[in-house]
Amino acid sequence: MDNEKKVFWIWLSSVPDIGAKRFAYLLSIFKDPEAVWETSESELLKYAPNIGKNAIYSIIEQKKDENLKYAEKILHRDDISVITIIEDEYPNLLKNIYAPPPILYIKGKLPENNLSSIAIVGSRRATYYGKQIAERLAYELGQKGIVVVSGLARGIDAMAHQGALKAGGHTIGVLGCGVDIVYPQDNIKYYREIAEKGTLISEYPLGTTPIAGNFPARNRIISGLSQGVVVVEARQRSGALITVDFALEQGRDVFAVPGNINQPCSYGTNNLIKQGAKLVMSVEDILEELPDYIMHSRQEPESIQLDFLETQVYNALDSEAKHIDEIGNITGIGMGQLNSILTKLEIRGVIKRLPGKFFVKS
């Protein structure tokens, strides 16, 4: 989509009182946000019974050229990209939930649409045990090429992001504010590292502050981007349980890590297991519920199409482990590009990474 069209998407999605559901309704009627901009006040008011007078008056009030100019400025920023729901880059899983965000603001780079993804969520006031488990699960998922999704909150969320980053995996932080705002400030280290190596996502316009009402809606995106949701510690009235509700509505798998029955932060997870959530004792308990991952990992290397450079790297390996420096000497490929190729081949199940930067054919 060219920027001349996209400015109208940014404009309409930024209008107060126009959430994802009203945006979808207007799109079904007008087919394009630009048409909403061009429609007269009297014509727009015909749709007030369907979306409310306040929403219609907000649209009329926001029809200002300065708002389009502001949208243009956003599109010219180097550090932020905007993706609409009708573009191919928009995550496939998220596109099919109820009330998907019409546009996404992105810092960083979205992972490929065919990669498996798991959300890890839980208490902000996590115990040492909970933090340790969240980090370990995220690390092991990251090692397997599974995208780890969370909400960049304190506690379990922060540890999930940290584990994925430590593994060199991809992690997505879904924000309840604009992607240009760091919240909470305690997590600025993770915010910067995810922006550089992973993805920060928000449906909220730039500059949106992290008010409490934003976070329940944010949670539907966390589960919507994931094939399953793992809960590590949750109190009886935890925001993580809202994410679980969305996950169930969206047909996602729900996992829970058991906890000490004497700890308040274990009530939510233990109760989820009691109600039928899958108990997680190791990362394998999660992986075995990802059919796409299992099918992918069982593919024979010969059945996977490799490009020229990938073939060179694959042919440089054999049944004995080779160090990355030796692979570089054999292929003549620069270290930065070689690292990228090795990671892709590992994710696709063609090669295995061993400790000490050694690699071997699968």
pLDDT value for 356: 80
pLDDT at position 362 is 74
The structure tokens listed for 37 are: 């901009």
CA proximity to 257, closest of 115, 117, 159 = 159
Provide the angle, in degrees to the nearest 10, between the axes of the packed helices 188-197 and 156-166.
40
Among 166, 229, 224, 221, which Cα is nearest to 198's?
166
The pLDDT assigned to 301 comes to 41
- Give the model's pLDDT for residue 344: 85
User: pLDDT at position 299, please?
Assistant: 42
Sign of CA pseudo-dihedral 74, 77, 80, 83: positive
Tell me the CATH number for domain 301-361.
1.10.10.10
**Alpha carbon separation from 186 to 153, 155, 331 (Å, rounded):** 9, 11, 43
Query: What is residue 254's predicted lDDT score, i.e. its pLDDT?
Result: 98
Can you point out the beta strands (E) in the chain?
Answer: 81-84, 103-108, 117-122, 147-150, 171-174, 199-202, 228-232, 253-256, 278-279, 322-323, 351-354, 358-361
- pTM of the entire predicted model: 0.80
CA distance 223 to 231: 11
CB count in 10 Å sphere of residue 302: 7
The continuous run of DSSP H or E covering 220 comes out as helix 214-224
Contact by Cβ (8 Å): 138, 190 = no
Domain 117-293 maps to which CATH number in 3.40.50.280, 3.40.50.450, 3.30.200.20, 3.30.43.10?
Answer: 3.40.50.450
| Tens-binned pLDDT, residue by residue, of the chain (362 aa) | 889 999 999 999 999 999 999 999 999 999 999 999 999 999 999 999 999 999 999 999 999 999 999 999 999 999 999 999 999 999 999 999 999 999 999 999 999 888 999 999 999 999 999 999 999 999 999 999 999 999 999 999 999 999 999 999 999 999 999 999 999 999 999 999 999 999 999 999 999 999 999 999 999 999 999 999 999 999 998 899 999 999 999 999 999 999 999 999 999 999 999 999 999 999 999 999 986 665 444 444 445 678 888 888 988 987 678 999 999 999 999 998 998 899 888 888 888 888 788 888 87
